[in-house]
Amino acid sequence: MRVLWVAVRAEPRVFALSVIASGLYAAMTVGTARVLGWATEEVILPAFESGDTTAGALASAATAILAVALFKALGVAGRRFFAGLMQYRMQARYRRAVTRQYLRLPLAWHHRHPTGQLLSNANADVEASWAPIAPLPMAVGVVFMLLIAAVSIVLTDVTVAVVGFLVFPAIALLNVLYQRRLAPVATRAQQLRAEVSEVAHESFEGGLVVKTLGRERSETERFAGAADALRDANIAVGRVRGLFDPVLEALPNLGVLAVLWVGSVRLQGGAMTAGDLVNVAYLFTLLAFPIRALGWVLAEVPRSVVGWRRVRGVLDAGGSLPYGDGALDGDKAAELEVREVRFAYEAPVAPADANDSTGDSAGDAGGAPAERGDDLGAPERAAATEQVRVLHDVSFAAAPGRTIAIVGPTGSGKSTLTSLLVRLVDPADGSVLLDGVDVRDVRQGGVAETAALVPQQTFLFDDDVRGNVTLGLDVPDERVWEALRLAQADGFVAALPDGLHTEVGERGATLSGGQRQRLALARALVRRPRLLVLDDATSSVDPQVEARILEGIRDTQESGENGATVVVVAYRKATISLADEVVYMERGRVLDRGAHTELLERSEGYRNLVNAYERAEAEQEALEGDEEPATEKARTVTGEDEEQGALAQ
């Protein structure tokens, strides 16, 4: 009832209109019985007794019946329309609320919750939460109908009324038993829907890995296992409902039979008239269907409660990033300072006893859902975690317009550091300052207006080139082309069939890896950020093109026009040498800082790492060169050659 009350408070007017329409339907249902009883007593029986009737009597009966039927039809139409409107509004409202919460919650929260679970929360769980809304107005109207019918039946014959009313406590008892049987199996089914979504999402996302490693059969079997478990859970729900629905259908009909039997006895004894018996019997016949509306609401309640708890688990989730009211105003490159930053991820810990982590635990666990994580269908994921420290007292600074290269082996915390610089996450200790202001004190959206990140993994939307570069930013085409030129992407974009308006396909499937990276870079540059963070953002780009990109960015820095402070995670020696300062990291710590040539001389670890990268790249280029024709080996690849080659491919 608390879940349903949320919907009533959210849409009071629509709910009131649906209940009024349902009340009209209820009143006309009872009115139909009264009209039939009157017609039986005043028209039909006199016609049998006299063997004759009049056109006026028949017209009066027909008019009364048609009038009641018309108002009853209006009640049905109004009830269904407003109930559906209320249901779909609530579903849309909470889908938006869940999506806004996903965007508001920090990455640390998303790391702990699989994407499949989140998709299920926003779709299946929201739908389940408001499934009882459709029959709810009818159920409320049924209560109104029962009150009218009860008064009418009692006024007609008390004895018959007592016999007929015995069906209602029987229905109430049946519903209590039904709820207790259905709640645990509905919880299990709702959880498994999320698990099936999770497996499907992983399979689609990892399609390339599955294909290249020949794991189609095992992945199919993994999905089949989850789908079979969901099938069995849905069958269990269907069995409970299959036992409940026929009995609920039968009870009102049994009540009608009992009323007819007792009424016929009383009719023979002269205690009631034939019209009274028709009135009472027809009332109970009509009530058999509306009473089912109560059953429909009760049948959806277990799934609704489970879905609501899972949705509330998302909406009540904590860990959002706090914001201040500070601003980062200016048109010059930003000043960056990182002070003794520490950061740790929360990693799940396997339970001591694997038997304790069963799929049914979500339905049996106690405590507040939002705190325990039960509502996300995976309490074991949130219950046991440990802190994995990845950054230890990291400190460095970058003057406005300078370029800082972050260099380090895999796992040294470089990507985590870039997330901190643009405030995707907050440090556990220490601070990140832009223009001397702690980013935690900046108003919401302020950091995004100042800093831009181009991550390792490039994501393009199923949109045209312009849409992927601007992402809704209202800028003229000239500014888009300016960003494309700086990202060395203008050549291949101009050669596309529709230029800026060429559709790139899902995730940019029609483009090469280097082209996708350059569009992602243009996406950041078109915003003219004052701090540009490149997390290995040109790894798929030819070294010569990468050099031109970085030189173009440096030229804008030196000219002072739309300049930016640049932090680049790099491994190529040519890229690193363009930086004003290098920050060398290992195992989450800054081991050394300085110019590239200085670090080559004094840091053995840095020297070995950079030289190893260079050797690996040279070997890769040699292997690729051996596969090309001899004429191609001697050919100097220019930027135009590269673009034409990409187009030809």
- The DSSP code sequence of 537-560 is TTTTS-HHHHHHHHHHHHHHHHHT
Position 92: which residue type? A
Q: Is the per-residue pLDDT at 523 higher than 80?
A: yes
Q: What pTM does this model have? A: 0.60
8 A C-beta contact, residue 362 and residue 183: no
DSSP 203-217: HHHTHHHHHHTT-HH
User: Which residue type occupies 370?
Assistant: A
Mean of the pLDDT values across residues 368-381?
36
> Taking 70 as the threshold, does the pLDDT of residue 289 lie above it?
no
Sheet with 336-348: list strands edge to edge. 385-398, 336-348, 429-434, 437-438
What's the pLDDT band for 386 if we cut at 50, 70, 90? Answer: low
Instruction: Read off the pLDDT of residues 484-521 as tens digits, 9 standing for 90 and up.
Output: 888 888 888 888 888 878 888 777 777 877 788 888 88
Return the higher-pLDDT residue of 636 and 70.
70
| Pairwise CA distance, residues 597 & 99, whole Å | 48
Q: Please state, in angstroms and rounded to a whole number, the distance separating the CA atoms of residues 524 and 549.
A: 13
Measured CA to CA, the distance from residue 161 to residue 76 in angstroms comes to 27
CA distance 634 to 155: 106
Q: Which long-range contacts (CB under 8 A, 24 or more apart) does 575-580 make?
A: 575/405, 575/538, 575/546, 575/547, 575/550, 576/405, 576/407, 576/610, 578/403, 578/405, 578/547, 578/550, 578/551, 578/554, 579/403, 579/404, 579/405, 580/402, 580/403, 580/404
Lowest-confidence range among 21-35, 235-249, 539-553?
539-553
- Beta-strand pair 581-586/589-594: antiparallel
Model confidence pLDDT, tens digit, residues 429-473: 888 888 888 888 888 878 888 888 888 777 888 888 888 888 878
As a whole number of angstroms, the distance between CA 351 and CA 385 comes to 10
Q: What is the DSSP letter of 321?
A: P
Q: How far apart are CA 611 and CA 571, in angstroms?
A: 10
High-pLDDT (> 90) share of the chain, %: 0
- How far apart are the C-alpha atoms of 167 and 177, rounded to whole Å? 16
Burial environment of residue 50 by CB neighbours within 10 A (0 to 12, 13 to 18, 19 or more): exposed
Confidence of residue 376 (pLDDT cuts 50, 70, 90): very low
For residue 391, the SS3 value is strand
pLDDT-based confidence at 349, cuts 50/70/90?
Answer: low
CB 451 within 8 A of CB 533: yes
Fold of the CATH domain 2-315: ABC transporter transmembrane region fold (1.20.1560)
Amino acid sitting at position 221: E
- Would you kindly state where each structural domain of the chain is located, as residue ranges? 2-315, 397-648
Q: What strand order describes the sheet that includes 531-535?
A: 451-454, 531-535, 565-569, 403-407, 581-586, 589-594
CA distances (Å), 286 to each of 26, 29, 98, 145, 430, in order? 10, 7, 41, 10, 72
Identify the architecture of domain 397-648 in CATH.
3-Layer(aba) Sandwich (3.40)
Is-contact 567 559, C-beta < 8 A? no
pLDDT band at 620; cut points 50, 70, 90: low
Q: Going by C-beta distance under 8 Å and a sequence separation of 6 or more, which residues neighbour residue 519?
A: 458, 460, 465, 468, 469, 487, 489, 504, 508, 511
Distance CA 98, CA 437 (A): 32
- Residue 350: what pLDDT? 54
Rounded to whole angstroms, how far apart are CA atoms 421 and 531? 9
Rg (CA), the chain: 36
- 51: tokens are 């063997």
**What gap in Å lies between CA 348 and CA 381, rounded to an integer?**
6
**β-strands 565-569, 336-348: how paired?**
unpaired
562 vs 476, more confident: 476
Residue 46 confidence (pLDDT) = 81
DSSP string, 581-641: EEEEEETTEEEEEE-HHHHHHH-HHHHHHHHHHHHHHHHHHHHHHHTS-HHHHTPPP-HHH
Mean per-residue pLDDT of the chain: 75
Q: What is the pLDDT of residues 292-301, one digit of tens each?
A: 666 667 667 7
Backbone phi, then psi, for 539, in 5-degree steps?
-65, -25
Structure tokens belonging to residue 380? 């074991």
pLDDT confidence of residue 459: 81
User: Distance between CA atoms of 440 and 324, rounded to whole angstroms?
Assistant: 7
- What's CA 632's distance to the chain center, in Å? 50
pLDDT value at 608 more than 80: yes
Tens digit of pLDDT for each residue in 542-590? 666 777 777 777 766 555 556 788 888 887 777 787 788 888 888 888 8
Which pLDDT score, from 0 to 100, does residue 378 have?
38
**571: helix, coil or strand?**
coil
C-alpha dist (Å) from residue 157 to 258, 259, 260, 288, 460: 14, 11, 12, 19, 74
Is the pLDDT score of 335 beyond 70?
yes
397-648 shares the fold of 2-315 = no
Highest mean pLDDT among 38-52, 67-81, 255-269: 67-81
* DSSP 8-state assignment for residue 367: S
Give the range among 103-112, 128-137, 379-388, 410-419 with minimum mean pLDDT. 379-388
For residue 512, with 0-12 CB atoms within 10 Å meaning exposed, 13-18 middle and 19 or more buried, which class applies?
middle
Name the band, by pLDDT with cuts 50, 70 and 90, for residue 347: low
pLDDT digits (tens, 9 = 90+) for 48-58: 877 777 777 78
